[in-house]
Structure formats: structure tokens, C-alpha cells
Structure 1
Amino acid sequence: MAVSSTVFSCPTMLGRRRSMAAAEMRTLRWGAKCQLSTAKPSKYSSKISTDVQLHESPQALFDEYLEDKSRVFKAMFPDKPKSYRLNEEEWRIYMSPINFLFLTAWPVVDMRIRCKSNGQDYPPDVPRDITKVLELNMMKWELQGVGQVMEQSDFTLGVQGALYPDRGGSHTRLKGQLEMNVSFVLPSVLAFVPEDVKRSVANAILSGLVDSMKHKVIESLVADYNMFKNERKAHNTTSSF
């Protein structure tokens, strides 16, 4: 009883104990971050290619369509209303949430879209005789919603790709490549997670992104190009009168 009365009657002692407890918590957090920073990241990658028929019109070449980068961006990401243009070549996109293990995160991506021509500075896999190439590169990204569990640097995502019309005789094919890489370091409390589980998580993330880029994006882009052809045809018809 005497001890209890001493403790309650001494605010200074209580303050010291609280300070010591706070210091211990900071030490534990710092130690956890050190464990994360020295852990070896798990890295996974996926590379796909696309090759679809493109019904190109001589009066509305796909090369001309690619010049309107703002239109191309909207066609490639039609279900991303939360996006805006940063500069001439870059857009910020608020992507759909992704789930991995017990976490749900909301990626925010800065994507650069460039048009290149005459074989200058083409990506390695693109033939130099291609007239025009649309190049995509993720310049910056942020993973929102995991700040209490993971550091931003513990999860990285890379995306780069190219699309171009390949003309052979009277036929045109829309070809392209897309490469995605994901790397993450799990918190120390999840260090026991088996490699096959981590791989399945990474594959789920990559397959979702790849499926979206390969199917939704390509289909939307081709559909918008068809609209571009119709608009050009209507304009030419009106101009002829």
C-alpha cells in the first residue's frame, strides 16, 4: 500500500516510466526496420507479347492515331476516371486495389507515353523498319494503404512496354511487348511464409495486371482506333462537299 501511494503521489516517476516505455517502443520499431532492410527481397517477373489483326485505313493510318497521346491514354485506361495529366508525356493513374496476403493496397502510378519514329531510340525488341512505336514506361509509383505494415521501399513494381503497327503486304498487325516486375520484402512477423505462397501471391498480382493490359487495353485501343477511322472518314466526306 505504501508503494502504491508513493507511485501515485510522484508524477515525475510516472513521467520517467512513460519516457522509458516510449524509448523501448522506438527501439523495437527501429530494430524491426533494420530486419526488413537486411532481408532479401522476393523478385518475380512476367513478359508477354500481343499480335492482333489491325484493319488500317490509308486515310487514317495508325501512325496518325498514335500522335494524339492524350486520346491514346484515355483509350488505354478507360476505366481509370481518377487520373490526370502531369505534363506532355506523363499521366498519374489511380489504379484498382491489389490484394496480397492480408494487405490491400491502392497503387498510384505515373506513366509516361512516348511516340518514337524512324527507328530512333526504339526498344530492343522492336524492328528498326517500323514506322512508329508507342512506348510505355512507369516512371514513379506509390503504394497507398500499407504504411503501418510495410515501408514504401519494401514493395516495388516496374512496367515497360511498346506497341506498334507491323505492315506486311496488304495486312497490318498490331504488335507489342509488355514486361512487368514485382519485388517485395515481407515484415519480419511474416518471415515464416513459404516460398510457394509468396510466389502465388506475386503471380496473382502480375497475372491481374498483365490480363488487364493484354486484353482490356488492346481491345479498347483497337475500338477507339476504329472510331478514329470513322471520324476521319466523316470529316473527309464533309470536306468534299
Structure 2
Amino acid sequence: MGEFAAAGGGLFSVGHCQPSFCPGRGMCFGPENVKGKPIKKQERIFRDEAVLKSKKTKQHREPLTFYFRYTFDAPLNESPAASFDQYLDDEHRVINVIFPDTAKTQTNKEEWRIHMPAMQVLFLSVYLALYVKLRCKSLGKDYPPHVPHHISKILELDITIGEIRGIAGYDSSDFNLSIKGTIFSDRQGTQSWLKNIFDINLSFIVPPLLAWVPNNVMRNITESLGNTMMADRKSNALLLAVADYEKFKKEKLKTAVNSKKLRGG
């Protein structure tokens, strides 16, 4: 299942629904009308003071911090004609396996914006948009310390938070997420192993709406969400190793056979 080390606790699992709450779209302060009735000056002052008090409270709150290390190995039936290194070169394909059933936009050559499905935190539906950078590295150049230099190729993932919605008065600066991942084939004699290693750092300030939840309970909730996300990653890794890579090999073989026929071989 992997390892978990906490400076506090853990993470999330996340589709497409409209948020129940939208930061920046809550109560209006100013001469705007609410249901056709002008806001009285005294009410406006009271609400302004409430917002300032909420901001001050948030500024003095210590963030909860968490660390996960997730590892997963699976046997890999590699083919010389369609190696796993070749599979990793198809980044569009790989990202669709890692993040299935999500809306994706490629922002540049290396980066994708991923809109994750909703995750339920107590009575809130929370929506995350992630930025995911993919980089292939080979021959030991600039490998992270935990990857042996004899590995021929790795795919690095760098995941950060882009946007968080669904919590009134909460914005992305209150929630910091950093995930560093590596995927590669480790060949040991005639056997190959798919290796997945993910280091996850998370910190967040508990929003005023959830300030009534004790810190130890919030840590337990976060750890539970983290374990759920890790289980999802494990399922996707298995899909990567068993299903989609096998499909990739068959496609390569079919292309090679067709090419041979065209050449009259």
C-alpha cells in the first residue's frame, strides 16, 4: 500500500459538479442589492467587520502539515519491440491513464491543467484544479536521488495546486500541495518491474467554516482521504502495467506486421 509519515496527517480523492460554495462569490459588500433590497449601512459595516475578523483569525492560524511517501511495484511483461521506455514517450497516453475521467487542458509542451472530480470533506464538496508537469529523463541524467542510475528512462511528474473551489472565503493560497512522482521500469535479469514512487507534501489552513473541528479529527480525516487517493493511484498503476501497456504492445506489433506486409515481406 505504501508508506505514510505525517507531520500531521494527509490528502484527497476528487469529476465535474458545480460547487456548492464559490470563493469570491459569497455575500456582497457595498451598495449592491440583495434580493432587490438595498443593504443598510449598519448591516454593511457589520458584515465588513465579520470578514476582517475572519481574515485575521485565518492569518494567525498555524497550517496543518502532512507528508506521504507512496510506492507501488508491479511485474511488467516487457517486449523488445515495444519497451516500457517507448510507452513512457507517449505522454498524452500516460496522463490519460494516471488521471482517467477528468477534464484536461494542455497549457504548454510539458504542462497540463487537470480538473479533479469533487471530493467530499464533511458537508463540503471541494473542487481542485491541478497543474501537472511531465518530463522524460534518460541515462541517469538529473535523476532524483531515489532512482538508481542504471535505469534507462524515467517519467517525472511535478504536481501543484492551481485552484480550489467549494469553500466560502477560502482561496488557493490557504492550501499548498506538492507531489513529486517517478515512474519507470526496473529490469532485473529477465524480469521487469513497474516502479511508482510518489512524495506528497500538503499543508493547509483550516477554513473558518470547519474551525469547530478539532485538529486531531481533521488530521484523521485528511489521512483517510490521503489513503483513498493512494489506493486510487495503485489502481491506476495496475491499469498502466497490466491493461494499457499490454494494449500498447499489441498496437506496436500490429503496426510492425502491417509495415512488413506493405514492404512485401
Same fold (TM over 0.5): yes
CA contact (8 A) 1:150 1:186 kept: no
Q: Matched residue pairs, number? A: 222
- Asked which structure has the greater RCO (Cα within 8 Å, sep 6+), the reply is 2
Q: 2:191 aligns with which of 168, 171, 174?
A: 171
Distance 1:189 1:164 in 2: 42
Partner of 1:31 in structure 2?
Answer: 53
Name whichever of 130-139 and 178-187 sits farther off.
178-187
Q: Could you say what secondary structure the match of 1:72 adopts?
A: helix
Partner of 1:45 in structure 2?
Answer: 67
Partner of 2:152 in structure 1?
Answer: 131
Partner of 1:210 in structure 2?
Answer: 230
Shift of 1:91: 1.2
Shift of 1:129: 1.3
Distance 2:68 2:196 in 1: 14
Q: 1:64 aligns with which of 60, 83, 86?
A: 86
CA contact (8 A) 1:107 1:142 kept: yes
Partner of 2:130 in structure 1?
Answer: 109
Q: Which has the higher helix share?
A: 1
**Aligned-pair RMSD on alpha carbons?**
1.8
Matched, 1:96 2:117: yes
The ranges of structure 1 where at least 4 consecutive aligned residues each deviate by more than 3 angstroms after the TM superposition are 187-192
Distance 1:213 1:135 in 2: 15
Instruction: State the AA in 2 paired with 1:219.
Output: L
TM-score by length of 1: 0.85
Matched, 1:180 2:200: yes
Matched, 1:193 2:210: no
**Which ranges of structure 2 fall in alignment gaps of 5 or more residues?**
1-38
CA contact (8 A) 2:140 2:150 kept: yes
TM-score by length of 2: 0.78
Partner of 1:152 in structure 2?
Answer: 172
Distance 1:177 1:185 in 2: 27
Between structure 1 and structure 2, the one with the greater Rg is 1
Instruction: State the AA in 2 paired with 1:97.
Output: A
Name whichever of 97-106 and 150-159 sits farther off.
150-159
Partner of 1:19 in structure 2?
Answer: 41
Q: Percent identity?
A: 34
Partner of 1:5 in structure 2?
Answer: none
Distance 1:110 1:151 in 2: 16
